[in-house]
Structure 1
Amino acid sequence: MSNVHTLLVVWQDKESRLYYHIGTLSYYNNQYEFIYTHAEPGQRKLGDALKCGYMIHPAFPNINKVYQSKTLFPAFDRRIPSPDRSDFKAILADLGLDEHASKMDILRETRGRSASDTYSFEQPLRVGEDGKLHSSFFVHGMRHQNLPDHWPSWLTKDSSLKLIQEPTNDHDPNAVGIYTYGGRQLGYVPNFYSKAIFSLLESGATPLVRVVYINEKSTPHWWVKVDFECGVPALQDIHSDELSPVMQ
């Protein structure tokens, strides 16, 4: 079972396609906890989301409250496959999980995506026991790259990818493109990580990005998943607000 017990609750603005970290879901001491991020503008948190039309979730109406529960909040629980489904074990196997997986594990791997809204649940960048930053995420924006039908032939499991900053990007000055070593762009680092990863690259860090999952028959949101690992030799030179998705 994974030891990841924290997930970023992320909302996407349908017009700008930008993502906002509006809250954090955690599990510890045998209970779940949900809190909103700060409501002040800046850093693409709740305050910025509200300015872009985000509506406070009706299950969590008080933005200043710490919500706690012994069971996963129903608003989130309904986003994961039910154990009563006949294909439940097959779903877990496809996600790389087994019957011992926790609800947080399942929510992490499925991202809790729903066709009816624009929420998702994402892993934070975590500082591991080796002192490096770690995470896993799906490559964003692949459907907008006009990729040829044979794009899966560019990759295999464990393929290494490279990151390239795009400071002149019209939508996000902290955008980071994801490329094959053959120079083909697949998409982007999810933009709720982009400021932190852009800053790491700016400081001279050299992340390792490795393909761990390919499923071209799925929707573009789930085409390619990568593992991210990065040493932080210049962490002291980076402002803490630039690493806001990082959690110990």
Structure 2
Amino acid sequence: MTEHKSLWVVWQNVDTRLYYHIGTLSYFDEHYEFTYTFTGEGPQKVRDALENGYMLHPSFPILDKTYVSSKLFPAFDRRLPSEIRSDFGHILDELHLTESSSKMDLLEQTRGKLANDTYSFEKPLRIENAKLMTSFFIHGMRHQKDLPENWYAILRSFNTIELKPEPNNEVDANAIAIYTELGIKLGFIPRFYATGLSALLAMGIQPIIKVNYINEQSNSDWWVKVDFESDVLGLSDTELKKLDPLFEYAV
């Protein structure tokens, strides 16, 4: 079966620290495609980003063009660790990958982040077997003033986490905070998912969210990764579009 994988290309405004899903990178039928989210009129897409300081990537200067390549675009490929590095095998081990893993797998695991960079690559909201699924790292942990120094020990001992919408949040009315079962606020669901997942919660659907990975020794961007899953069986096409007009079905 031909591999089909997509990743959201996300840009962060360094002044406001807000995130936007500005494009999607896909691999299928042995070629790569990149397109901006120009058909998405809602918040956190590229049109919203352009109004808030974003400038189109110089390698992709046309907003409504689908860029196609038989190889990973150089602008994205340079974000990956080089295969000729002496420690490349160790890097793969750390990322739980193998030499047969694809560049899209490597880009997903590393998130393509560079030091002091405004771009990252994130798993999309995706429907598979009537379930809405994704995984992500908790955002904003280092900005939580009441986060205990031993938060990682607490989370390992009491690893149940809960979602709490914050409709009065001054930055984003769709903000969804993440708490431990002891009531400790860890951070937030990434903003580029928040609109869709807020709509899901408003429908009365309770998702399953589980801690996948904890690494308190890493940069705060990689402290805690969680898996998200929600049953969407029976939702109409209109209701599904409320989750995200650009989400995709698994192929």
Tell me which residue corresponds to 2:187.
187
CA deviation after TM superposition for structure 1 residue 40, in Å: 7.1
- What CA deviation, in whole Å up to 9, does each residue of 1:63-100 have, x standing for no partner? 12111001000000011111111111211111121111
The 8 Å contact of residues 158 and 180 in structure 2, kept in 1 or not, is answered as: no
Change (3 A) 1:94 1:4: farther
- What CA deviation, in whole Å up to 9, does each residue of 1:1-21 have, x standing for no partner? xx6600011101111111111
What TM-score results when the alignment is normalised by the length of structure 1? Answer: 0.93
Tell me which residue corresponds to 2:248.
247
- What CA deviation, in whole Å up to 9, does each residue of 1:36-77 have, x standing for no partner? 111775322111111111111110111121110010000000
**61-70 or 167-176, which deviates more:** 61-70
1:215 has 2:215 as partner: yes
Tell me which residue corresponds to 1:140.
139
The 8 Å contact of residues 192 and 245 in structure 1, kept in 2 or not, is answered as: no
The 8 Å contact of residues 166 and 176 in structure 1, kept in 2 or not, is answered as: yes
Equivalent position amino acid for 1:188 in 2: F
Q: Secondary structure at the match of 2:209?
A: strand
Q: Secondary structure at the match of 2:192?
A: coil
- Root-mean-square deviation over aligned CA pairs: 2.0
User: What number of residue pairs does the alignment pair up?
Assistant: 246
**1:166-177 alignment to 2 at 5 Å?**
166-177=166-177
Query: 1:245, 1:114 → 2: CA distance?
Result: 26
The 8 Å contact of residues 133 and 229 in structure 1, kept in 2 or not, is answered as: yes
Structure 2 unmatched ranges of 5 or more: none
Percent identical pairs in the alignment equals: 51
1:86 has 2:86 as partner: yes
**234-243 or 10-19, which deviates more:** 234-243
Query: 2:87, 2:157 → 1: CA distance?
Result: 25
**189-198 or 109-118, which deviates more:** 109-118
**1:1-248 alignment to 2 at 5 Å?**
5-38=5-38, 42-129=42-129, 131-146=130-145, 147-156=147-156, 159-233=159-233, 235-236=235-236, 238=239, 240-244=241-245, 246-248=247-249
Q: Secondary structure at the match of 1:155?
A: helix
Equivalent position amino acid for 1:145 in 2: Q
The 8 Å contact of residues 208 and 229 in structure 1, kept in 2 or not, is answered as: yes
CA deviation after TM superposition for structure 1 residue 229, in Å: 0.7
The 8 Å contact of residues 178 and 186 in structure 2, kept in 1 or not, is answered as: yes
CA deviation after TM superposition for structure 1 residue 116, in Å: 3.9
The 8 Å contact of residues 204 and 234 in structure 1, kept in 2 or not, is answered as: no
CA deviation after TM superposition for structure 1 residue 234, in Å: 6.1
Query: 1:71, 1:142 → 2: CA distance?
Result: 36
The 8 Å contact of residues 157 and 213 in structure 1, kept in 2 or not, is answered as: no
Query: 1:223, 1:162 → 2: CA distance?
Result: 17
Change (3 A) 1:88 1:157: farther
Structure 1 unmatched ranges of 5 or more: none
The 8 Å contact of residues 138 and 188 in structure 2, kept in 1 or not, is answered as: yes
The 8 Å contact of residues 124 and 245 in structure 1, kept in 2 or not, is answered as: no
